[in-house]
Amino acid sequence: MSSSRRNFIKKATAVGAATAFGFGYSHTANQMLKNVLLDDRPADPISGNAPKPEFSVDLKTGKLRLNPDQTVAYTMCMGCSTICGVRVRIDKKTQKVLRVTGNPYHVLSSEPFLPYETSVRDSFQALSRYQEKGLRSRSTACGRGNAVLDKLTNPDRVKVPLKRVGPRGSGMWAPISFEQLVEEVVEGGNLFSDGQFDVLRAIRDLKITLDP
């Protein structure tokens, strides 16, 4: 290959890589420009615009400081069939869920989990960096668990039962009432215009055991 042809390919590759980099990081670049030009800086250089923590622990003394604007509730995540225990941070004023995190008392989100008699105050300390306790008692929810708060507020969330009204895989759905849902799940029938479905009432049998 001639030297000029090699140089041309090198330059074209460099331009292509720079363009791909530019597209890939366009959001980041935009954000950086916004920060510099409009002085639109995040509230904190490390935690950005994340809500303030619900508590903090003095690393030297272990003294706990609670955030008076937030409360914490212990509940279960319905993000999937695992149903992990989670800890939910709530803004007291707006009653909005701010974050979903792991429940240190729950076997599915903390290993080892805290004994139930542990006070909530002690559980906060156990999650903190005080004496590096948080490394042992770290309690987490998965990414999906963190995102379940979208179920409360996302404008695209599903609020009513949806029934398929086109061929399987066509992505065609229509909202139906809960009464229709129960009726069809129990009684079956030609539900999707493509054949008979015998469902709950037809298969319910309290006399024959599955595994005699």
Q: How many residues bind ligand SF4 (CB under 6 A)?
A: 10
**Which of 55, 126, 141, 184: binder of ligand SF4 (CB under 6 A)?**
141
**Which of 57, 72, 77, 114: binder of ligand SF4 (CB under 6 A)?**
77
- Do residues 55 and 124 make contact, with C-beta atoms less than 8 angstroms apart? yes
Residue 194 CB, nearest distance to ligand SF4 (Å)? 33
Residue 80 CB, nearest distance to ligand SF4 (Å)? 3
Nearer Cβ to ligand SF4 (15/83): 83
Tokens at 107, concatenated: 């076997």
Binding of residue 182 to ligand SF4 (CB under 6 A):
no
Cα separation, 55 vs 36, in Å, equals 32
**Which of 54, 57, 70, 84: binder of ligand SF4 (CB under 6 A)?**
84
**Which of 83, 158, 172, 186: binder of ligand SF4 (CB under 6 A)?**
83
Binding of residue 144 to ligand SF4 (CB under 6 A):
yes
Binding of residue 127 to ligand SF4 (CB under 6 A):
no
Nearer Cβ to ligand SF4 (88/114): 88
Cα separation, 197 vs 187, in Å, equals 9
**Which of 82, 154, 177, 180: binder of ligand SF4 (CB under 6 A)?**
82
Residue 70 CB, nearest distance to ligand SF4 (Å)? 20
Nearer Cβ to ligand SF4 (90/142): 142
Binding of residue 142 to ligand SF4 (CB under 6 A):
yes
Nearer Cβ to ligand SF4 (65/144): 144
- Do residues 140 and 109 make contact, with C-beta atoms less than 8 angstroms apart? yes
Binding of residue 104 to ligand SF4 (CB under 6 A):
no
